[in-house]
Structure 1
């Protein structure tokens, strides 16, 4: 059974989300190995949400408590504090929620483009940790498919919405000419590349980049920027500082900004890249994620309505497929039972030796065709019963009539990535790069 623990900008403080973003991913690999009630787990931790998608084999309350205790300990938080801030979803609500999240419909900025990649990377991390299951794989793959449908069939992301662009929009009310504005970018990850694209859309030309990890020269050469080697010097020659590193401690301190110059600092990091005391420095205007989220625009109603309709359709299909597949193990058991009988009978005829090889072959073809015809109607009926939520009726009937019981279904190894998903991922990466 699938359940989801979710805490976001809607029901949790940014301080709590910041702490969870540090510790929760590290705890993910231990959630399954250290628990008797969890078969699998995928943890999604972004700048404005923490979510744990769990495939549980035991009591859901025990699973929730075990998960909360694990991520709380890893994040140095009190378990009760985290438990009070998370919402627990079960059944079809899990599907609805992830499909909406992956499509950008639950983000601070509705329609943001980064979330689908973050969801995809959460699944990849779970695969590396060996914590996925076939149910979680199917859920996340269908979520990715749904987000692509929303992206291509609606205009909800047409403006390239993201926290990066919203932060720049807020800064633009103070900046009259981006082309003449000196910008320092601190960070060289995927968010940094998104930031550069957003800056250049505003005609920003004077962009330096600094990397705490020393990757600035490589990143600057790739994006035609100027690499900065000293952070304080680079800040001193900038009008706007934008931070987006994965550092778990502040990279920019208040003392780095105390030169008396007027400066806008946009902190896109979670955990924070800029120490909160920077907001008290004279001349500095600090826009952090919490400030930016307060100014998130109201969604374009038509585009969001269309997107939610696509999500609802995808959820309905997912549920129907899940119900149909509930009878698959019983169908496999029935076919095995019937074909084992058929094979035994064919072997008996061949051993008797009173027919020619040609006659025996014709008889075998006829019998196999007959069995296929006989199995067709039960197969159709099984899917019908599954869609109607009566899969157990079919399984019980097989047991009552033939003593046939389905075997447990083994999970697909987490390292196996379907070819179709690999192709879709390549298309997504190419679209992101463009």
Structure 2
């Protein structure tokens, strides 16, 4: 039973393409049911993050039949006619790709650890939905094992290892000293929390948190030693804060020119850094035209990440050699009769 993966990521497609293909977490159980309603697909996992959307499938059909079933599902479920920047792999390359993703080798930030947690969550969602079986269970369990092996046997994780830490590096380029900066985090999920903690670790003076759930905002603010801001009037914070990090799952822009412009005169020329870690994007690119406003989305963080990658080329080669070896081991050993 072959394992096939199709998808787009930060290298193959820009954020405006990826955001059209993204799945909200609440959509995934039903999406997996629809994916498996096609007779060719017996097992499936959907991975959707700010940097990638990937569909992993296994079934009794051949690789091309599985690829076509996955492509058709993605087009129909996302309402798109063309799949720009799509890549496709079947075994053993599909397993190599999965292992590289789990290990952070295929990430925007080389060796980052956040993707492993996201991959485990995607697998758990599929497991709970009854969408996995013998083949994908083995494939993902081995992927988690390979990721651990790479962390312990290579030096790939030395240096910057998360999107959040790259965002903090970007803040350091705009502001001479983060000790004077107030940070507002819009969205109290995992990405927002990690970004906030990264800012605190670099000395941010104050962190404020806002979220549609007041309880979740208060809880995270307490954990961070910051304060919660009521969601209904959070845009007023744009008059005071120095850095805004947005990572919600909203289907629309949280910040656009109409939201931002009324607050700019109150800033008296102070720079405002907007970091958009959401896919679909939370912040309208049009706000970049305002003087003193600096907007960076997940694709803009690529330049910093690329420099870290260039410095670790030797470790990358070691990791890929290990992955190739593990990808060619049989997933399921068939006993002779």
Q: How does 1:99-138 map to 2 (within 5 A)?
A: 99-138=99-138
Query: Which shows bigger deviation, 264-273 or 15-24?
Result: 15-24
Q: How does 1:32-431 map to 2 (within 5 A)?
A: 32=36, 34-78=37-81, 81-82=82-83, 84-214=84-214, 215-229=216-230, 230-258=233-261, 259-260=263-264, 261=267, 262-300=271-309, 303-322=312-331, 325-326=333-334, 328=335, 330=336, 334=337
3-state DSSP of counterpart to 1:219: helix
Confirm or deny: 8 A CA contact 1:29 1:126 kept in the other structure.
Answer: no
Q: Cα distance, 1:205 vs. partner?
A: 2.4
Gaps of 5+ in 2: none
Separation of aligned partners in 1, 2:310 and 2:13? 25
3-state DSSP of counterpart to 2:274: strand
Separation of aligned partners in 1, 2:34 and 2:90? 22
Give the structure 2 partner of residue 347 of structure 1: none
Distance 1:172 1:127, change over 3 A: same
Distance 1:14 1:300, change over 3 A: closer
1:27 to 9, 12, 31: 31
Query: Which shows bigger deviation, 302-311 or 97-106?
Result: 302-311
Q: Cα distance, 1:154 vs. partner?
A: 2.7
Separation of aligned partners in 1, 2:311 and 2:14? 30
Query: Which shows bigger deviation, 149-158 or 96-105?
Result: 149-158
Separation of aligned partners in 1, 2:310 and 2:253? 38
Distance 1:241 1:131, change over 3 A: same
Which one has a bigger Cα radius of gyration? 1
Q: Cα distance, 1:143 vs. partner?
A: 0.7
3-state DSSP of counterpart to 1:85: coil
Confirm or deny: 8 A CA contact 1:253 1:278 kept in the other structure.
Answer: yes
The answer to whether 1:13 aligns with 2:17 is no
Deviations 1:290-349 (A, max 9, x none): 2222443334567453354345335424533447x13x2x3xxx4xxxxxxxxxxxxxxx
Deviations 1:73-125 (A, max 9, x none): 222211xx11x521221111111111111111111121112111111111111
Q: Cα distance, 1:160 vs. partner?
A: 4.3
Confirm or deny: 8 A CA contact 1:244 1:268 kept in the other structure.
Answer: yes
3-state DSSP of counterpart to 1:208: strand
Confirm or deny: 8 A CA contact 1:113 1:160 kept in the other structure.
Answer: no
Separation of aligned partners in 2, 1:67 and 1:124? 20
Q: Cα distance, 1:256 vs. partner?
A: 2.5
3-state DSSP of counterpart to 1:270: coil
Confirm or deny: 8 A CA contact 2:58 2:66 kept in the other structure.
Answer: no
Deviations 1:220-266 (A, max 9, x none): 12221111112112222201111112222222232232122331111
Higher relative contact order (CA 8 A, sep 6+): 2
Q: Cα distance, 1:56 vs. partner?
A: 2.0
Q: Cα distance, 1:198 vs. partner?
A: 1.0
Confirm or deny: 8 A CA contact 1:250 1:274 kept in the other structure.
Answer: yes
Deviations 1:339-388 (A, max 9, x none): xxxxxxxxxxxxxxxxxxxxxxxxxxxxxxxxxxxxxxxxxxxxxxxxxx
Q: Cα distance, 1:196 vs. partner?
A: 2.1
Gaps of 5+ in 1: 335-434
Confirm or deny: 8 A CA contact 1:216 1:228 kept in the other structure.
Answer: yes
Q: Cα distance, 1:282 vs. partner?
A: 3.4
- What's the Cα RMSD here? 2.1
Give the structure 2 partner of residue 417 of structure 1: none
**Structure (1/2) with the larger helix percentage:** 1
Distance 1:218 1:148, change over 3 A: same
